A and B are shown apart, each in its own frame.
Chain A
């Protein structure tokens, strides 16, 4: 067997081995360098890190209404991006087109302060959160001797300068680690890259519950800052979560903060060695987001499907929805607005306004049958029907967000 070696000038090695019998060449490719990363994850660990998918944004109340006082955290109009704001101003959160130039991004998440909080109370805080299901964290190998170090990166543009905290939180074992980053220049896109040590203590649950979070702090009261920042993995202590935080995104109603390119890699990287952001095509990203939220009988490009069924009585109809993607859990069903859909009777062609979600007949992670209350009593019990969107905010939503 002959061997041909091709060596690059600085890095990289490709070995082609030719067999004596003329059979197919075998190729042993060893990439040793900074530009190509042999990730253990085939798709980005962070879903929708480029902020492109915003299924909630069809509902203007989600985009426009200030978000505040969500003790359990709330999803924003950008899919998979949560916020936890406890008595620390009010913000309008929206999808924006202001992005760092030349890196492939087209959207960012914008937080616009609408009610200021110039004096942050001791127990108040503001976080942007990304939540992982436990079963999606098994590849971290956390709690074993093979546990990975982790690196978090993102782009931020902020009117407020100063120091802020990124915390990795292990919710199954109540452990955490945190690092500071600095917004040096106002109104300037800056890329932040923070690496965190591996944790050989505390395995993560292999289930669909919340096991792991990335928390980016945009405000923190003294209860969270009075200790010493947990720069090594340790039991989660409130006083050590955000020590050193100076940024208060709610300091003025002039404040705007934009973030995009949220990225997490397994392994320790610096700003010069971190692999490029791993973009997904939009369809793939939307499908991953639909595990947590779906919008049916809508009229925009995010709409996941429609529904067919029949009239149960002259005032109710039962409709079955098939989910294009298995949802994380049996979902909460909600009609976006009264009279935002028509129930079309296939026998006589009548259209009847749908008033409200009455109950769920049967639900699973793969589909659901919902009973709706209709306007009036002109339905024909037993007739087949389907739903048609109408008005500016049509449709039904299904939510299986990570709690």
Chain B
């Protein structure tokens, strides 16, 4: 899976709760939950230094 244009998004409580990105070219919003398969993969690639995520507004 290829993730591009990643940016944190805040939840209702003003905390980073989601990552907006393009997954294999498709725009999507991924919850920051480790049982979500996409976030698990994002975290893996982030920890490996393969991707970066822009800070939320």
Contacts and interface: CB of A to CB of B under 8 A. Distances in A.
Interface of A: 70-72, 74, 208-209, 328-336, 356-363, 370, 399-403
A381 B8 CA distance: 25
Contacts of B11: 360-362
Contacts of B27: 334-335, 356-357
Contacts of B38: 332, 399, 403
B23 A332 contact: yes
B8 to A, nearest CB: 10
Interface residues of B, number: 23
A74 B1 contact: yes
Contact of B36 (A329, A356, A362): A329
B29 interface: yes
Contact of A403 (B17, B20, B26, B37): B37
Nearest to B40: A403
Interface in B12-33: 12, 17-18, 20, 23, 26-31, 33
B44 to A, nearest CB: 8
A402 B29 contact: no
A72 B41 contact: yes
Interface of B: 1, 9-12, 17-18, 20, 23, 26-31, 33, 35-41
Given A74-B1, A332-B30, A334-B23, A360 B18 contact: yes
A329 B29 contact: no
A401 B28 contact: no
Contacts of A358: 20
A161 B20 CA distance: 45
The 9 A-B residue pairs with the shortest CB-CB distance in the complex, in nearest-first order:
A403-B37, A334-B28, A330-B31, A329-B35, A359-B9, A332-B38, A403-B40, A332-B30, A360-B29
Contacts of A401: 37
A74 B1 CA distance: 8
B12 A332 contact: no
Contact of A400 (B12, B23, B28, B36): B36
A68 B45 CA distance: 18
Contact of A357 (B29, B31, B35, B41): B29
Residue in A336, A370, A400 with the greatest tally of chain B CB atoms within 10 Å: A400
B48 to A, nearest CB: 11
14 contacts: A208-B35, A328-B35, A329-B33, A329-B35, A329-B36, A332-B30, A332-B39, A333-B28, A334-B28, A357-B20, A359-B29, A360-B17, A362-B11, A399-B37
